[in-house]
Amino acid sequence: MGTFSLVVVSNRLPVDHEDGPENADGTAAPDVWRTSPGGLVTALEPLMRSSGGAWVGWPGVADRSFEPFQNDGINIVPVRLSAAELEEYYEGFSNDTLWPLYHDVIAAPAFHRETWEAYVTVNRRFAAAAAASAALGATVWVHDYQLQLVPRMLREARPDLVIGFFNHIPFPPYGIYAQLPWRKQILHGLLGADVIGFQRVADAGNFSRAVRRLFGYPTRGVVIDVPNGDDASSIEAGSTGARSTGARGAGARSTGARSAGATRRVIAKHFPISIDAAAYEEMARRPEIQARARQIREDLGSPKTLMLGVDRLDYTKGIGHRIKAFGELLAEKRLSVEDVTLVQVASPSRERVETYKVLRDEIELAVGRLNGDFSTISHTAISYHHHGYPREEMVALYLAADVMLVTALRDGMNLVAKEYVAVRFDGDGVLVLSEFAGAADELKQAILINPHDIEGTKDAIERAVVMPKRERTRRMRALRKKVSENDVAAWSASFLRTLTGGAAVQAGIPDDLRVALGEMAVADTLLVALDFDGTLAPHVDRPEDARAVDGTREAVQRLLDLDGVRVAFVSGRALVSLQHVADPQQDVLLTGSHGIEMRLDSPDIELNLLADELDQLDTLARVLEGISGSVAGTTIERKPAGMAIHTRLASPHDGERAQREAREQLNDELPGLTVREGKNVLEFSVRSRTKGDALDVLRGHTSADRVFYAGDDVTDEDGFAVLRDLDIGLKIGPGPSLAGYRVRSPKEVTEVLNLLADLRTDLRR
């Protein structure tokens, strides 16, 4: 066990190794380490320094071992890889199997048992290095497709850890993913994480569907319930179905009806990555960079329109499609080589992989043919560059370019599109963007294209070239707003906030929550939905003694008195119990028993139970009352559609024994029950509903434009899961959560309700 509270794990370290110059006496000089310029490094540098975290990864040199060291305030833990492992794990399984498979099989993936075995071996080495570096209860954030087995390996070695994984490339639809011989092992590896991040909503959905198809685990929105001690495939080389050892996780837990044992709640959600937009703009404003941009245009013959493509030389980037479309525009005389020049930067990529060697030959042949057909003595159709450039030169190219072409056939995000937008502080420039790049989900004001549609791509390029200045400015202004508001710091903060749950929640209302409430206050119709126990009222030993904190009733009344505001209590309690402890005003909408009971603008409680459900309730009561009667400190709570056994007053050992016995007996007698685990409570229901279901009903009943939902428990995550982009989810206390905001206690919730009332009152005056 190590000493670092935050550990980042990625294939490459955030530093590049260089051999130091030999000393005059012939001895070797110290190693030289230079910080890599990548966006991930930029995003995590401040956090790593402030937390004293460690970064685990390969140093970029084969067959060399390096001791851990510190570089620019970051602790570095190098992982040794041999040349053979690089060939099989990295060039083989990672980039000749997973990369093409995950990019919709644009190129054919290879499936070799030897490369899979190397992938398992190397993943185990990375996991061991991370486990040895992490302190008790630490947060470990694993990155990208090369290390998909690491989360499960870590969980089995260190169940105390909080584990996150972020996939920087797409995750394919099931029909494609199913081709992978080790499909279950990869999913099993990823499900070791508490939070699994993807670039796009569709990628997260593809992953959840694959989990349902291959394992049958319950999924609700972005939430997956993973049984502890499940029967998933072991992550062993060549294994196709051996039983996993399983391990209890550190994240929030819930319970599904599919397993007699406890389950771990895994969140699979999109967190679109971004760039350090401010840094790119600052660079673009430098006089020397602007002078270089002017020089680039002059060196190219000062074309009326300069188009730019910047890509790794990869078959997923659609470079050939771009060149084909440009060539046809020139052939049809819709564009003239005297007026338009295309600069194509294609940085080297995986040049030892045969597919990439063939691709380079194809692209360079296409460029040569097009230039031979259309270039003149004074004007070149395509200025092609097969090498990388420093960031300053790239920013100058972005400034020089009138049109940016991003024609990816499949791309997790494509940060080049965002870099171009961030640089254009002048408000000019046009972005032509493939709808198959993740950036298209955010950058809606770009000209979106299907790069497979050559005619459509040609029309888009021509439209970009002739676009009026006013339209260019309008589009770029909107694009820049999106990129600046959702920069790389916001991305990393969002992921870690969901993963770690803000272990030390500060008192008071966070500034970002105040801003969000101000934006929400303008809604025409607003629904304020609130859990009760732990949200409006502190947790107490006896549920019937719970009462809201002072001032809560008055805050709720202030909201009820405002036009266009509805207030609802969304509780796991039976409505009779909720009405007793909450004493709600008549206008407050009520849902109890996780949405099974409802009182909506009517004195009547809506509930219908079938005859067989009533029989199940009798059996449930017999079993739980028998267990509670034999275990001191346990109590039974009756609910309209179920029962709960509370273990708050029991010893930890007795409470765990009572819950275990309840699961085992009821799994035998009533295997179809819905089982839900909360804080020192285990609840069984004969009808399955969630707080998310209740929130959907309330939204429809009130016709709310926006919803505010506050809750503290695992069961409230079902409510957070159904919130929309403009809604607000508020988590009370620590723990992994889908909520975007967090406060420390019910006292702050009352303050939030009063603040929302103040903001809306001020707007309506």
Each residue of 323-351: pLDDT tens digit?
Answer: 999 999 999 999 999 999 999 999 988 87
Residue 395, CA distances (Å) to 273, 289, 408 in order:
20, 7, 21
- How far, in Å, CA of 237 to CA of 189, rounded? 13
Please check the confidence at residue 54 and state whether its pLDDT lies above 90.
yes
365 pLDDT band, cuts 50/70/90, is: very high
CB of 308 within 8 A of CB of 401?
yes
Please check the confidence at residue 609 and state whether its pLDDT lies above 90.
no
- How far, in Å, CA of 507 to CA of 519, rounded? 22
258 pLDDT band, cuts 50/70/90, is: very low
- How far, in Å, CA of 341 to CA of 361, rounded? 22
- Higher-pLDDT residue of 200, 505: 200
Counting beta carbons within 10 angstroms of the beta carbon of residue 633, is it exposed (0 to 12), middle (13 to 18) or buried (19 or more)?
Answer: middle
| Residue 572: predicted pLDDT | 87
DSSP classification of residue 631: S
Helix-, strand-, coil-residue percentages of the chain, each rounded to 5: 45, 20, 35
Please list the residues that pair with 731 across neighbouring strands.
Answer: 711, 742
Query: Helix, strand, or coil here: 256?
Result: coil
Residue 529 host element (H or E): strand 526-530
Please check the confidence at residue 483 and state whether its pLDDT lies above 50.
yes
| Residue 702: predicted pLDDT | 95
Could you read off the pLDDT of 368-411 as tens digits, one per residue? 999 999 999 989 999 999 998 999 999 999 999 999 999 999 99
39 pLDDT band, cuts 50/70/90, is: low
| Residue 756: predicted pLDDT | 96
| Residue 37: predicted pLDDT | 62
- Higher-pLDDT residue of 265, 682: 682
| Residue 255: predicted pLDDT | 30
Around Cβ 61, how many Cβ atoms within 10 Å? 16
Structure tokens that stand for 241 in this block: 């179905």
38 pLDDT band, cuts 50/70/90, is: low
Contacts 24+ apart (CB under 8 A), 511-520: 512/741, 513/728, 513/730, 513/741, 513/743, 513/752, 514/755, 516/728, 516/740, 516/741, 517/728, 517/752, 517/755, 517/756, 517/759, 518/759, 519/726, 520/706, 520/708, 520/726, 520/728, 520/756
- How far, in Å, CA of 185 to CA of 97, rounded? 15
Could you read off the pLDDT of 463-475 as tens digits, one per residue? 999 999 999 999 9
236-259 mean pLDDT: 34
- Higher-pLDDT residue of 169, 763: 169
Could you read off the pLDDT of 503-560 as tens digits, one per residue? 456 778 989 899 999 999 999 999 999 999 999 998 887 888 899 999 999 999 999 9
Place of tokens 């707007």: 763
Could you read off the pLDDT of 132-142 as tens digits, one per residue? 999 988 899 99
Q: Which of 381-385, 417-421, 521-525, 598-602 has the lowest mean pLDDT?
A: 598-602
Please check the confidence at residue 730 and state whether its pLDDT lies above 90.
yes
| Residue 232: predicted pLDDT | 43
Contacts 24+ apart (CB under 8 A), 663-669: 663/255, 663/260, 663/261, 664/260, 665/623, 665/627, 666/620, 666/623, 667/260, 669/619, 669/623
Beta-strand relationship, 447-449 and 430-434:
parallel
Closest to 434 measured CA to CA, from 272, 322, 276: 322
| Residue 604: predicted pLDDT | 77
Closest to 353 measured CA to CA, from 99, 57, 59, 63: 99
Q: What percent of the chain has pLDDT over 70?
A: 92
Q: Considering the chain, what is the average pLDDT of its residues? A: 88
Q: What percent of the chain has pLDDT over 90?
A: 63
Closest to 674 measured CA to CA, from 648, 643, 698, 695: 643
- How far, in Å, CA of 92 to CA of 102, rounded? 14
| Residue 207: predicted pLDDT | 97
Structure tokens that stand for 622 in this block: 């017999």
- Higher-pLDDT residue of 630, 430: 430
**Chain centre distance of CA 89:** 25
Amino acid at the residue 80: R
Closest to 205 measured CA to CA, from 161, 240, 172, 163: 172
Please check the confidence at residue 263 and state whether its pLDDT lies above 90.
no
| Residue 504: predicted pLDDT | 52
**Chain centre distance of CA 279:** 23
Name the region of 64 (left: φ>0; alpha: ψ -120 to 50; beta: rest): beta
Place of tokens 């006896």: 542
Could you read off the pLDDT of 557-582 as tens digits, one per residue? 999 999 999 999 999 888 889 999 99
**Domains by residue range for the chain, with CATH:** 4-19+30-233+261-270 (3.40.50.2000), 277-489 (3.40.50.2000), 507-608+689-763 (3.40.50.1000), 611-685 (3.30.70.1020)
Please check the confidence at residue 764 and state whether its pLDDT lies above 80.
no
CB of 186 within 8 A of CB of 197?
no
Around Cβ 321, how many Cβ atoms within 10 Å? 21
- Higher-pLDDT residue of 208, 256: 208
DSSP classification of residue 586: T
Contacts of 694 (CB under 8 A, 6+ apart): 570, 591, 594, 595, 598, 719
| Residue 352: predicted pLDDT | 78
57-64 mean pLDDT: 93
Please check the confidence at residue 433 and state whether its pLDDT lies above 70.
yes
